[in-house]
């Protein structure tokens, strides 16, 4: 039986964030993966059931999944990453207060970038999902 290695999805995610160093953050990446699979499991035609061995940090989908499903899961991983970044930035903003936060150029700029990325990613995911074939009755 053909399977797809989870690493294909992770690689697709990592290529979307080339400037971020994920060294030693395998658990965080897997958490992003699990959340992404849960959020988009009913959207692609492919079954997203998987097996993951936490001891060796490797896994695979129980069935072969197609490129569009790999892309969708990696997009949701990216969305989860930006949601976490947005939450961190928002917490910092609440702690400092809006006026003090806005006086720190890097913080204000990071908040704007993360907000914009999240908004555009939501639109990109919605467009991508509309283009997915609908085989839900055939599953």
Alpha-carbon distance 43 to 47, whole Å?
A: 10
Alpha-carbon distance 32 to 85, whole Å?
A: 12
Alpha-carbon distance 17 to 31, whole Å?
A: 17
Question: If 0-12 CB within 10 Å is exposed, 13-18 middle and 19+ buried, where does residue 136 land?
Answer: exposed
pTM: 0.84
> What are the residues whose beta carbons fall under 8 Å from the beta carbon of 35, sequence distance 6 or more?
76, 77, 80
Q: Greater confidence, 101 or 95? A: 95
What's the start-to-end Cα distance of the chain, in Å? 17
> How much is the pLDDT for 96?
78
| Phi, psi (rounded to 5 degrees) for 60 | -155, 155
> How much is the pLDDT for 30?
96
Q: Is a pLDDT exceeding 70 seen at residue 40?
A: yes
Tens of pLDDT along 54-97? 889 899 999 999 999 999 999 999 999 999 988 888 887 777 78
8-state DSSP, 66: -
> Mean pLDDT across the chain, nearest whole number?
87
């Amino acid at each position: 039986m053909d399977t797809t290695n989870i690493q294909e999805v992770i690689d697709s995610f990592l290529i979307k964030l080339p400037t971020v160093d994920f060294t030693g953050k395998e658990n965080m990446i897997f958490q992003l993966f699990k959340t992404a699979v849960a959020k988009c499991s009913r959207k692609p035609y492919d079954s997203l059931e998987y097996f993951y061995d936490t001891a060796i940090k490797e896994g695979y989908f129980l069935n072969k999944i197609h490129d569009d499903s790999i892309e969708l899961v990696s997009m949701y991983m990216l969305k989860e990453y930006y949601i976490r970044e947005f939450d961190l930035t928002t917490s910092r903003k609440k702690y400092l207060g809006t006026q003090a936060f806005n006086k720190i150029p890097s913080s204000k700029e990071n908040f704007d970038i993360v907000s914009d990325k999240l908004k555009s990613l939501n639109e990109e995911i919605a467009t991508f999902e509309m283009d997915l074939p609908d085989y839900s009755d055939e599953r």
